[in-house]
Structure 1
Amino acid sequence: MRLLSFNMQYGFGAEGIYDLTRAAAVISGADIACLQEVDRHWSRTGFDDQPALLAEMLPDRFCVFGPGFDMDASTVVAGRVVNRRRQFGPMILSRWPILWSRVHLLPLAAMIDPINTQTCALEACIAAPSGPLRVVSVHLAHVGVGERLAQIAALKAALVPVGPWSGVDDEPLRNWTEGQSEPPCPAEMLWLGDFNSEPGSAEYRAIVGEVPYHPGARYRGAMVDAVAALGLHLHSHEKTIAGQIRRRQLDHVFVDASLAPRLRRASVDAGCLASDHLPLWVEMDL
């Protein structure tokens, strides 16, 4: 199974050109893709509905979009209101049905400057061939360490292994569950996304914990960095700081420790120009 974590920078490439088809070409190689920075009805992207366009470009994929916030972008044409919402957030695409999904808003720090937007995590349960698989597309704040630590704590608290409903429908005449049984919600998870934090940082350690004394030890319920577990060092983002190019690993795939033995490969598309982030690929035996 090929997993993709990709901050697509709302379709703008590394050279600043807007071209959503390049992002779609990247996504087409994934079995499950977790995207960040997906736009809907923004002027900067020609008021495109990117979730709808990506679904159209990739017709064999199941998909779900989870905006972190929602603003008015409506117009009035010939006296009629054309309802349109301006949204921004993560998206998940899958070769297999997405059984359910939900959005988790993350803490937002009030700023004077620079701009700081409401971010969120999009959780989904996918009917993978090996059984239900819970994946989370994550985008942490870019401004400060403290805010990211608060977001990680909130995410851990929210991602309990309980699905969108729990228990037996006590009002069958209302058909609340539409005749379906309680949906699956496995305890094991995969977190994919732009964490705006590098390996070894406080935020990174808040996710993977401290290195255990016993080499190779795995704590039940702990998260493992897929890249590090495979003995690799990859960078997914370049930024010029004080006149020097810094290569950083801000995008990560974290897997439940119980799934770590299933990891096979990890890589980035070093020559990809579809975004200012490089696509991060992880292959697992699932």
Structure 2
Amino acid sequence: MTLTFATYNIQFGLGQDGQFDILRIADAVAEADIVCFQEVVQGWPRDSYEDQAAALAGRLNYFYVFGSTFDVDGSTRDEDGKVVNRRRTFGNMVASRWPISASRTLHLRKKPSPGVFDLQRCAVEAIVEVPGGPLRVYSTHLGHQAPSHRMPQVEALREYIFRAPYEAAPIDAPHPQPPESAFDWTEGLPFTPAPRSAILAGDFNCRPTSEEYAHLCGEPHHKHGRTRHYDQLVDTWVASGHGEEGVSTIYNRDGAYKIDHVLVTEDLAPKVKSSRVATDVTASDHYPVFVEFDV
């Protein structure tokens, strides 16, 4: 079975033509079985208060989870003075052809920088019920300001990803009451332990030459490539036969501005068949990155 995976920073649906169009975002990655989206918003006036997560999933007809640690008031009052409750969110999403049995949202540390624009970041974890067995998928978007902002975030991600299989899923075991009992708190929900295999994807705002990338993928060695520890990941771009750079994942940058990455646990690296950046897609300021796995 070939599994097609994609990651895409959608710039809240704003294309290179200056137009908002969330449906063409979904169409650009419709061939993928699992998609990680970043810069997904809900409840913003510029998007007519659209729930972009629901719109993307609806267009694809996929299961999805959305997570945000950026959550601010967007409420108004109508002409009669009645409160119209809204929240403005900015976050990440995982959409999947197959059900997502469990999800968590990881708060990523933000260092305050007075007078400098920044946003609260997160990573969204999804346990996807792939036919060949469950798979953990993380959609993330790291800070754009400086390496000192991103390093605490990658440290948290690395620890979180490799600790997850030992923390179990939301339910650690079946409830002692039978499923048909009114006292069964779980209402028959299955016990699904977190699998070891994982994909971490998104906009890392750093290139393979960075310290943050090395913390996730291993220190570079002039003879042996990356020297990884057991709790570090493999870049699928490299696993598919490419050099670490030589491609841009963001519009209007040179051919060595690869900041959108798809990283995997060691067991998934041999299953990578191919990887490509869809530089012909203009629906955002980033390009979608596709990876094919032989699972």
Number of the residue aligned with 1:236: 249
Q: 2:174, 2:151 → 1: CA distance?
A: 37
Q: What displacement does 1:68 show?
A: 2.1
Alignment of 1:141-220 (within 5 A): 141-159=143-161, 160=163, 161=165, 162-165=167-170, 167-168=172-173, 172=177, 174-211=183-220, 220=230
Q: What displacement does 1:220 show?
A: 4.0
Say if 1:8 and 1:276, in contact at 8 Å, map to a contact too.
yes
Specify the code of the residue in structure 1 equivalent to 2:238.
A
Number of the residue aligned with 1:63: 64
Does the residue aligned with 1:237 lie in a helix, a strand or coil?
coil
Q: What displacement does 1:235 show?
A: 1.7
Identity of aligned residues (%): 38
Specify the code of the residue in structure 2 equivalent to 1:231.
G
C-alpha spacing 1:234/1:247, structure 2 compared with 1 (3 Å): closer
Say if 1:188 and 1:221, in contact at 8 Å, map to a contact too.
no
Q: Deviations over 1:40-93 (max 9, x none)?
A: 01122222111122222222x111111122111123333433322111100111
Q: What TM-score results when the alignment is normalised by the length of structure 2?
A: 0.88
Number of the residue aligned with 1:223: 233
Q: 1:201, 1:215 → 2: CA distance?
A: 15
Query: Which sits farther off after the overlay, 30-39 or 79-88?
Result: 79-88
Number of the residue aligned with 1:252: 261
2:137 to 128, 135, 138: 135
Query: Which sits farther off after the overlay, 155-164 or 263-272?
Result: 155-164
Does the residue aligned with 2:192 lie in a helix, a strand or coil?
coil
Q: 1:216, 1:49 → 2: CA distance?
A: 41
Q: What displacement does 1:253 show?
A: 0.3
Q: 1:170, 1:94 → 2: CA distance?
A: 28
1:278 aligns with 2:287: yes
Number of the residue aligned with 2:96: 94
Query: Which sits farther off after the overlay, 164-173 or 95-104?
Result: 164-173
Q: 1:45, 1:216 → 2: CA distance?
A: 42
Q: What displacement does 1:273 show?
A: 0.5
Q: What TM-score results when the alignment is normalised by the length of structure 1?
A: 0.90
Q: What displacement does 1:252 show?
A: 0.3
Say if 2:248 and 2:255, in contact at 8 Å, map to a contact too.
no
For structure 2, the 5+ residue unaligned runs are: none
Q: What displacement does 1:155 show?
A: 1.6
Specify the code of the residue in structure 2 equivalent to 1:194.
D
Alignment of 1:44-63 (within 5 A): 44-59=46-61, 61-63=62-64
Say if 2:234 and 2:263, in contact at 8 Å, map to a contact too.
yes
Q: 1:268, 1:25 → 2: CA distance?
A: 16
Specify the code of the residue in structure 2 equivalent to 1:65.
F
Q: Name the Cα RMSD after superposition.
A: 2.2
C-alpha spacing 1:26/1:163, structure 2 compared with 1 (3 Å): farther
